[in-house]
A and B are shown apart, each in its own frame.
Chain A
């Protein structure tokens, strides 16, 4: 691509150079626009509020790494972090397993109602969350699951189920049928086929779904804020917001708390950027 446009340089190379320069400038500015706020946040997380109010855009010097310790220990961010981790990891594990099982059945077996079940599951992706939010609140109160991390996990499982089934069904349907026929001939039962063929062969897609579900639930706010009020059970997004409500002026500490919530996502992104981008966009391309 690059070579074809460069090869045609010739007499027009000066204006072309100018265009290229403008393009580079625009893209540079745009990159600052997209990345700058986050880097600014990163610098603020290492500075005290006093330093920030003196000069909001200075480099952290000295770097106050102890801010992270303070946020973690004294400002309860450790609690929020582990609550988030517990809820999200358990919900993602369960939703991936039951989603994969459902996706396998829908992709592989012919039975009456197959497409109807798929359609019903799929269409709930467009539902506005409020349609279930108010009733889920009532239901969880009825069953004593309100204000409990277990209840929140259950809700999270239901939130991510349609997307999980949708993504995995698409992938599982492309696994060649020959593989299943051969397995059947070797005497594999239906469950064995799922366990020993679909899951290993589908690992790339399952990994993508895992990462995608992790990010979306890690960032989830609406259901957490409605279903959790106990300070000890807050997840990170609502913990940060509550902290911000109480300490509106303490910008340095808020920035540190925000960084604590972002770091796991960034770590996942550094290692799995391609998988993640593919997963997040899988629904839109086809």
Chain B
């Protein structure tokens, strides 16, 4: 890492040259630093930090057009009694805590299959990764068709194998809609988890796996006692990554169901969007309060998860 000291013979040589402006090549003048860091920090401050603070500030106001009225904590009080908000929180939490387990498990199993040496492994890896690259708009439209009651793949298959009774309006039934959207999201991201797991398995120490082979260790035991414990840091960081993604989920839900039917797929993100830009409530203060609360919830959850899961690893994005 960049902190490594470099006071080797080089710096001695550098000092011998009077032309060298600074003795330590790892130091730079403020001007140089400003040139390198300035534009980035400017963008960050102007378009990330300032808006974030402004949202928090706005959450104490009622904002209609250009008029801002200070209302103190009223938005937060209303929020506590807002049933739709709590439904959205519940849905998002279910999604964020449960789905990542499935995601990581599928990713690991797929990676193991490729690692075990199936034919066309290279092709399969590239093929399975494709959905990761498709936009949520594309994925949402595709899966709306797959879930279509009359001619969607799912119902067509069910009817073909004689399970026509199970054919449902997958996105129209409040009991099924959330599950249907979760499956779609998992479909999109399975390849991502697979690739990360595969890379991690390939970087495991070869000797350990070979020793296990010599001991006639079966796949089950090898998985349970060697691969999973060694992959623990990767699996945990994948879990947290997946968790963060689900706490933010918007596009897919918005296009597939708009949070319906009957709030069944409402997430916090879609609710903020509705309150800010979709309903004719014309108040930006209240959605700002939701966004602020959710910002804190996400940050705190990530910190807690990081602690509880005991990953010493640096949290990756």
Q: Which A residues are closer than 8 A to B by beta carbons?
A: 1-2, 4-5, 23-24, 26-27, 30-31, 33-38, 40-41, 53, 56-57, 98-99, 101-102, 104-111, 114, 117, 120-122, 124-139, 154-155, 157-158, 161-163, 165-166, 173, 177-178, 180-181, 184-185, 187, 190-191, 194, 215, 218-222, 226, 237, 240-241, 244, 251, 254, 258, 261-262, 265-266, 269, 273, 276-277, 280-281, 283-286
- Cα of A228 to Cα of B241 in the assembled complex, Å: 29
A177 touches B25 (CB 8 A): yes
B36 touches A105 (CB 8 A): yes
Query: A218 CB to closest chain B CB, in angstroms?
Result: 7
User: A34-B131, A126-B244, A127-B298 are known contacts. Are A132 and B199 too (CB-CB below 8 A)?
Assistant: no
A23 touches B118 (CB 8 A): yes
User: A126-B244, A240-B137 are known contacts. Are A194 and B36 too (CB-CB below 8 A)?
Assistant: yes
Which B residues are in CB contact (< 8 Å) with A57? Answer: 153, 156
- Cα of A196 to Cα of B244 in the assembled complex, Å: 38
B117 touches A165 (CB 8 A): no
B26 touches A177 (CB 8 A): yes
* B313 in contact (CB, < 8 A): yes
- Cα of A97 to Cα of B47 in the assembled complex, Å: 17
- Cα of A269 to Cα of B11 in the assembled complex, Å: 45
* B226 in contact (CB, < 8 A): no
- Cα of A2 to Cα of B120 in the assembled complex, Å: 12
3 closest residue pairs by CB, A with B:
A219-B135, A2-B117, A158-B47
* B124 in contact (CB, < 8 A): yes
Which B residues are in CB contact (< 8 Å) with A23? Answer: 113, 116, 118
Of B6, B128, B136, B287, which one neighbours A31 at CB under 8 angstroms? B128
- Cα of A134 to Cα of B56 in the assembled complex, Å: 10
Of A34, A221, A251, which one neighbours B145 at CB under 8 angstroms? A251
- Cα of A80 to Cα of B219 in the assembled complex, Å: 51
B2 touches A106 (CB 8 A): yes
Of B10, B51, B129, B138, which one neighbours A139 at CB under 8 angstroms? B51
Q: Digit string of B1-20 for contact with A (CB within 8 Å is 1, else 0)?
A: 11100100011011001011
Cross-chain pair count, CB within 8 angstroms: 300
Residue pairs across A and B with Cβ atoms less than 8 A apart, 25 shown, are: A30-B110, A35-B130, A36-B153, A37-B146, A101-B35, A109-B27, A114-B2, A120-B44, A121-B40, A130-B268, A130-B295, A135-B51, A135-B288, A154-B43, A161-B40, A163-B317, A173-B1, A177-B6, A181-B6, A191-B35, A215-B133, A221-B255, A265-B133, A269-B130, A280-B192
Which A residues are in CB contact (< 8 Å) with B294? Answer: 128, 130-131
* B247 in contact (CB, < 8 A): yes
User: A136-B51, A158-B44, A286-B316 are known contacts. Are A244 and B39 too (CB-CB below 8 A)?
Assistant: no
Binding site secondary structure of chain A: helix
Binding site secondary structure of chain B: helix
Of A38, A101, A222, A281, which one neighbours B250 at CB under 8 angstroms? A222
Interface stretch (choices B70-78, B161-169, B269-277): B269-277
B134 touches A102 (CB 8 A): no
How many of chain B's residues have a CB under 8 angstroms from any CB in A? 110
B117 touches A5 (CB 8 A): yes
* B211 in contact (CB, < 8 A): no
Chain B 194-236 residues near chain A, CB threshold 8 A? 195-196, 199-200, 210, 213, 234
A157 touches B25 (CB 8 A): no
* B32 in contact (CB, < 8 A): yes
Of B14, B117, B269, which one neighbours A1 at CB under 8 angstroms? B117
Of A38, A40, A107, A134, which one neighbours B291 at CB under 8 angstroms? A134
A98 touches B298 (CB 8 A): no
- Cα of A166 to Cα of B284 in the assembled complex, Å: 32
